[in-house]
Amino acid sequence: MITRLLIVVSVAVIISCQQGYRDIPEEEAAYNLSIRLGFEPDRINPILSRQVHASQIEGMIFLPLSDYNPFSLRLEPVLIKDYPKITAIDPADEEKGLRYEMEIMEEATWDDGTPVTGYDYLFTMKVAQDPYLLNTTWKNQMAHITDVTVDPNNPKKITVLTNNKYILSEEVITNNDVYPEHIYDPDQLLKPYNFQQIKNIGSQADADLDSTLHQFATQFNDEKYSREIISGNGPYEFEEWIPKQQIILKRKENWWGTKFQDKHPSLQAHPASITYHLIPDAQTALTSLKDQRLDLVADITPEQFQELKNYNNQEHPLTLEAPDVLSYYFIAYNNDRPALRDKRVRRAISMLMDIENLIDKLFYGLATRTIGPLSPNHPAYNHDVKPVPFDPQGALKLLAEAGWSDTNHDGILDKTIEGIKTNLSLSILTSRSQLSQDVAIILKSEAEKVGIQMSIIPNDVPKLIQDTENGDYDLSCLASVQSIAAYDPTNFWHSEKAGPGGTNYFNFRNAEVDSLIDKIRITLNESERNELYLKFQQILQDEQPALFLVAPKTPLAALKKLNFKTTTLRPGYFENTISIKN
């Protein structure tokens, strides 16, 4: 359930099928599925990875206690026998926290056949608390969890305690992938310590524990545990990773989930193997699809999708789909930059983007305009908020009000800031995709007409994400993938998360927004929470901490012989459920 950054071109569709694995014909059961990934994953390690393409592959190898069903759109049990039993720690006062009790299925096993137990779950939760990990996102989301214990009389039973109500509590507790303790901690470094000891390391002086956590993190952070030793409880096991070429997974022999494939789509295992071909260029990928060297290609541009509509090959026909998905494209503003601290400047830049033209020319109509960090398909989307108009003259007026003018007649606006004459010169980071750069080119063209100097800096995906998260940018062309779970804006929009090392890479600080977020997090009543979301979106529209662009549809092309259906869920397709038509 961890939110990831997605660069402005990642497009994917979740695919599934209704047919049970037990009924697959012999020819189909031996089918080797070949699909394209537009970007190489940073690593295959659910706690540490930061990219959607990584989590797509991780979903084939690792399983959580529960996961969202792509068709019912409900959080449903996967590794556990039933939904968690939830009770108040203090029956007289639910505000004091909740107790979650769960039991892992007897049949669940790891790659090597050893059983999945509550101790593996406890280990996973302890790992997430290690402050020396390269990625502490899980730790941040688990802040409300106070304890995790395993029943000494039944190692399959787990109890989790929280210190307050939280809208994402069940998701945070059950919807994260579980690791095998014996594989990822062979020296049992974390075994002697309980969850509370590790969680509270920052508030206690324990040199031995601190040293142990540092030692474990050094081991866990090593690429060996992200590119070589990759072991889980899912239907597929890691076989090979050839950098810049392909990643291969193979279906497990005697897969324990076979007889439970109707319980949840993530337990299905149709293809005998899955090969992810790492092909950055979409045109190359489409050529491979037409030649039947690939079975499915996502991440194609709207222009290519339109071209494929005219592709007519009776011998090798294609299936084309463009479903709505829960994602949106935006341009982040670094609100800590001197020129961008003034919301009039931010709004002026937003007024320079002709978004309706963007939808027509770059997305060929396969997108919907959006006004904030909630998809237009979200039930709490604020349809009453008026989008920022395309108005270059209005933008120029706002810039003048903010003190920017061309004092030396060189065509670039300038202003004295802290005693220094400063040009309104900004850079915009993009990925190397054509779509990402085209968005930046459109903004740059309009910006320069009103006297804003703007340079475009294309980067590989890891570098783009790194610079954005570190605050080393003015503007950054990005996208966000959303869960269907209740939306918690904390990580991206709360003031406490701004600044060095924070997840609020916009560096946006607003006391009223902070107050709304604090209320959203604990408001379990959906209608009451939706009212808070409406106010939250209105403030963001007024403050313009980012330029929100569009919610795209997701163009996809596949060989006609594949049996699949689309859904709004992300981060990708349920490739384990793809079958061949009879």
In a shared domain, residues 524 and 484: yes
In a shared domain, residues 345 and 488: yes
- Which residues on neighbouring strands pair with residue 37, listed in sequence order? 278
- The order of strands in the sheet holding 246-251 is 236-242, 246-251, 273-278, 32-37, 296-297, 556-559, 318-321
> Can you count the helices (H) and strands (E) in the chain?
18, 27
Confidence of residue 213 (pLDDT cuts 50, 70, 90): very high
Cβ distance 168 to 1 under 8 Å? yes
Place of tokens 């494929």: 308
Which CATH number goes with the domain that contains 80? 3.90.76.10
In a shared domain, residues 289 and 333: no
Give the side-chain half-sphere CA count within 13 A for 203.
Answer: 4
Confidence of residue 310 (pLDDT cuts 50, 70, 90): confident
Within a domain: 223: no
Three-state DSSP class for residue 552: strand
Confidence of residue 249 (pLDDT cuts 50, 70, 90): very high
pLDDT for 378: 81
CA distance 172 to 340: 35
In a shared domain, residues 240 and 373: no
Within a domain: 451: yes
pLDDT mean across residues, the chain: 91
Nearest alpha carbon to residue 120 among 264, 215, 231, 239: 231
User: What integer is the mean pLDDT of 71-78?
Assistant: 88
Within a domain: 216: no
- Which residues on neighbouring strands pair with residue 565, listed in sequence order? 16
Within a domain: 199: yes
**Which tokens hold the place of 180?**
């095998």
CB neighbours of 444 closer than 8 A, spacing ≥ 6? 428, 454, 455, 456
Nearest alpha carbon to residue 40 among 544, 478, 461: 461
Which CATH number goes with the domain that contains 380? 3.10.105.10
Place of tokens 């946006």: 508
pLDDT for 17: 32
End-to-end CA distance of the chain: 35
In a shared domain, residues 284 and 246: yes
In a shared domain, residues 571 and 451: no
Total domain count, the chain: 3
Backbone angles phi, psi at 456, to 5 degrees: -105, 130
Owning domain of residue 566: 1-62+234-321+558-582
Q: Over the stretch 183-194, which tens digit does the pLDDT of each residue have?
A: 999 999 999 999
- Which residues on neighbouring strands pair with residue 109, listed in sequence order? 115
In a shared domain, residues 405 and 512: yes
Position 546 pLDDT exceeds 90: yes
In a shared domain, residues 413 and 461: yes
Within a domain: 229: no
Which of 49-58, 387-396, 415-424 shows the lowest per-residue confidence on average (mean pLDDT)? 49-58
pLDDT for 570: 62
Tell me 12's DSSP state.
-
Q: Among residues 205, 223, 251, which one ends one of the domains? A: 205
User: What integer is the mean pLDDT of 324-341?
Assistant: 94
In a shared domain, residues 312 and 415: no
Q: How is 59-95 classified by DSSP, letter by letter?
A: HHH--BSEEE-TTT-SEEESSBSSSPEEEESSTT-GG
In a shared domain, residues 402 and 543: yes
In a shared domain, residues 52 and 67: no
Q: Over the stretch 255-306, which tens digit does the pLDDT of each residue have?
A: 999 999 999 999 999 999 999 999 998 899 999 999 999 999 987 888 899 8
Position 1 pLDDT exceeds 50: no
Backbone angles phi, psi at 231, to 5 degrees: -140, 135
In a shared domain, residues 548 and 399: yes
